Amino acid sequence: MEFSIAKGDFLRGLQKTQGVADTRGAIPILSNILIEADTSKKGIWIYATDLKIGIKGFYKAEVKGEGKFTINARKVFDIVKELPEEDILIKIEDRVGEGGEEGVQLSGMWVTLSCGNYKTRLSGLPVDEFPAFPSYGKSYLVKFEPLQLKEMIKKTLFSISSDETRYALNGTLLEAEGNIVKMVSTDGHRLSYIRRENPKKVEKNLNVIIPQKTTVELLKLIEDGEEDVLFSIYENHVVFKKDDFILVSRVIDGQFPNYEAVIPKNNDRRVVIDKETFNHALKRVSLLSDEKSRMVKLKIEKNHMELISDTVGIGEAREGIDVNYKGDELNIGLNARYMLDVIATVDSDKVFLDLKDSISPSILMPSNDENYKCVIMPMRLQ
């Protein structure tokens, strides 16, 4: 078996597997990817899995003879990344019966890779040790426009919880009903919510929690091309398909919090703030905030806001900015990083900060889109 492939195509395929292959796991085969040459489609399939997520993609190549092999995902990626912009030739040789250290018989295969004047030989583990790709259904429930799906992921990804003891919060909630699609994530201190209309109505209402790692890999999958992303559920897995790329993942089996009850309904004090002014002032003032809490105090009065950080042993910083606000004076402490995360995803010139009082959750959102909002819990002021 052998094939040749353009360096750019091969590198792109290897990049998409790096986040899935379990390079630090206890099972050696999961550090490998499986590559299958396909003469009928005139190309190769590249597979990776960590037993929770599986990804496969097809790439055009000149194939001479079908076959499969496994190879260390990180090693081959690091090698290909440094190769010249020429076609890469890969050949496979069995290594069964060769003597290893102290006469141990080796199994698997040699993978010979050459490009220009460079040539290397890498050891591959037996193909039959590689886990089978997860089963998935062929009927798709939702068709996503890639730019919209990309937007929804980016605006919720940052507030997924990394606390493994709160398992249901370790992913993004995906809901769909009729032609309305929602994504929600929370870490218990903040909550991100986005609602969008989908051109095609869903046949069946959806309510699934997609793991954080899966949403990260899905974002990578969306980056290439403009093809629609097809979505389905098969048993306890979600399936995303885009052209010749398929991502299959287990869902999180847990109860997501009632986010509708978390989003405040009566925050009637609205502060209208220039996004860029707020962004830079927050970054400057938060440099002297406590490293753990990242709290910045907002002192808000008519058409003016003062940002204050005061940390024992570090120092104090203050900056005043003009805002549009007509209400009574109000002081509130908020995590600067949480606010900056939201601002980084906003494409409007201004943002709304909706408040009730100093001890109730606040809402930060773009001025041009009330279907995207982030709830931030306040912090106790000294």
The per-residue pLDDT for 105 is 41
Please report, as a single letter, which amino acid is at residue 335.
N
Give the C-alpha separation, 202 to 266, whole Å.
32
Residue 137 one-letter amino acid: G
Res 98: pLDDT: 52
CATH architecture of 264-376: Roll (3.10)
Distance CA 136, CA 133 (A): 9
Res 212: pLDDT = 96
Q: Enumerate residue ranges in the chain where pLDDT < 70.
A: 95-108, 138
214, 50 Cβ separation under 8 angstroms:
no
Topology (CATH) of 2-129: DNA Polymerase III; Chain A, domain 2 (3.10.150)
d(CA 120, CA 157): 39
From CA 334, how far away is CA 343, in angstroms rounded? 14
Q: Which CATH architecture has domain 142-260?
A: Roll (3.10)
Q: How far apart are CA 42 and CA 60, in angstroms?
A: 6
- Among 161, 177, 168, which Cα is nearest to 209's? 168
Q: Is 2-129's fold the same as 142-260's?
A: yes
319 and 283 Cβ atoms separated by less than 8 Å: no
Asked if residue 286 lies in contact with residue 262, where contact means CB atoms within 8 angstroms, the answer is: no
User: What ranges do the domains of the chain cover?
Assistant: 2-129, 142-260, 264-376
Among 287, 340, 291, residue whose Cα is nearest residue 158: 340
Given a contact cutoff of 8 angstroms between Cβ atoms, the answer to whether 1 and 66 are in contact is: yes
- Complete DSSP assignment for 17-60: HHTTS-TTSS-GGGGEEEEEEETTTTEEEEEEE-SSEEEEEEEE
pLDDT at 309: 95
**Element containing residue 111 per DSSP (H, E):** strand 109-115
Residues 6+ apart with CB under 8 A from 376: 189, 190, 334, 335, 338, 339, 342, 361, 362, 363, 364
